[in-house]
Amino acid sequence: MATLAWVAILHWRLPALPAIVLLVVSTAIPMWLLELRRHSRAFDHGDHERQVPLKQLRLQRLIGLAGVAILFASSITMQNFLAKDWIVGVYEWTLPAAPVLGFFCLWQLFCRPGPPSPIEELGISIVGAWNQKRLDAGGVQILLGWVVKAFFLPLMLAWSYVWLADASDQNWNSIGWASFFAIAMAWLYAIDTAFATIGYMSTSRRIGAHIRSVDTALLGWLSALACYPPLSLLVLRTWLEYKDGFEWDAWLHASPALALVWGAAILLLTAIYTLSTVMFGPRFSNLTNRGIITSGPYRYCKHPAYFCKNLSWWLISVPFVANAGLKTALFNSLALIGVNIIYWLRARTEERHLMQDESYRQYAAWIDKHGLLGSLRHRLAGRS
C-alpha cells in the first residue's frame, strides 16, 4: 500500500502535506485492520466490566489527555526552539489535524468503559502518583512510554514531510542517474519515517503493539537521543561532524561506471535499512520492547538497520578521501568512527534491555549460531 501511495503521489505531483497524509493513512489503516483481525481472539476483553464510577473514569481519561497534551506541546516547542530546521513541517499539519484531534479527545472521554487505553493508563498513573505522593515502577514505565512517543512522533512526521517535499522538488524533465538516486533515497527514507510514524501512533493492546517495557538506563537514553535533534546538533553536527561537502558523487564524477556501482551499493544498504523498519509493522519504537522481530533482515543480524545505515554513511560521505588534505580526511574518518561507536552503544544498551525478555534471549542465541556472523564463525572454526 505504501508503494501504491507513493506512485499516486508521484503521478499527481502532490505537495508534501497531502502526500504525507496519503502515505500514512493508506499504510496505517490496512496494517491496523490486519493486526486487529490477527489479535482479536488473543485480546483479553475481561476488563470491560470494571467497576469504576463513570465520573471517576472520565476524570482519569481527562487527566490522561491533559498529560499527553502537555508532553507533546513541550516536545514540539522544545524541538522547534532548539532545532527548528530539523522539525520543518510539524506546524503545517497541526491546524488541519485539530478537528481530528478534537474528535479523538471527545471519543476518549465518552466512549463506553472497556480495558484501559494508553491515555487512560497515564491518567490512572498520574492520579495514583498524586494520591501516594510518588510514582511507582509501573507508573514510571507508562510515563516514559509517553515521553518516547511525545519526543519521536513529531520528529518522524516532520522528517517524512521533509523527504516527501524533497522528492517533489526533483526535476523530472531531465531524469538521469543523479535524479533517480535522489528520488530513490527520498522514497526509501520517506517510507522509513512513515512506518516509524505509524509505529509511534499504534501502541494499542488490541493489535498487539503495546509497550511491554521501556529502557530506564541513562546510557540507553543518552546514546539514543544523541542521534536525534536537538542533542544530535551538538554531538553529531558539532563534535563529530564528518562531512565536508565533498561526497561520493563528486569523488566518482570522472568514473561513471564505478559511480553507478557505488550508488547502487548505497541504495541497497538504504533499502535494507528501510526494510528493517518496515518489518516492525505497527511496533516500531526506540527505547522500548513492543515485541521481538525475527523476520526479514533480522533473520540474519540483530541490528541490520544500524549496520546498514552506518556503512552507507561511509559510502556517501567518503571521509577517507583526502580532497581537503590528509589531516581533514583523518579527522573526518575519526569523527565517523565516533558516530559508529554511538550506534554501537545504542545496540548494546538495547540488547541489555531486551535481554529481560525470554523471547529475545532465544532469538539472540539463535542469531549467534545461525546468523551471518555466527554461520561464518562456525564455518571457519570447522575448517580450522
**pLDDT tens column, 28-43:** 999 999 988 887 766 5
Name the DSSP letter for residue 252: T
**What would the pLDDT profile of 219-246 be if each residue is shown by its tens digit?**
999 999 999 999 999 999 899 999 988 9
More confident residue, 180 or 97: 180
Query: pLDDT at position 96, please?
Result: 64
Query: pLDDT at position 77, please?
Result: 86
d(CA 293, CA 359): 10
Taking 70 as the threshold, does the pLDDT of residue 46 lie above it? no
Query: pLDDT at position 201, please?
Result: 92
d(CA 373, CA 384): 16
For the beta carbon of residue 141, count every other beta carbon within 10 angstroms: 18
Per the listing, cell 501516594 goes with: 132
Query: pLDDT at position 47, please?
Result: 46
What grid cell was written down for 85? 530546521
Per the listing, cell 509501573 goes with: 138
**What would the pLDDT profile of 118-161 be if each residue is shown by its tens digit?**
899 999 999 999 999 899 999 999 999 999 999 999 899 889 88
Query: pLDDT at position 353, please?
Result: 98
In whole numbers, what is the pLDDT of the chain averaged over residues? 88
Tell me the Ramachandran region of residue 262: left when phi exceeds 0, alpha when psi lies from -120 to 50, beta otherwise.
Answer: alpha
Query: pLDDT at position 37, please?
Result: 87
Query: Do residues 314 and 179 touch, judged by C-beta distance below 8 A?
Result: no
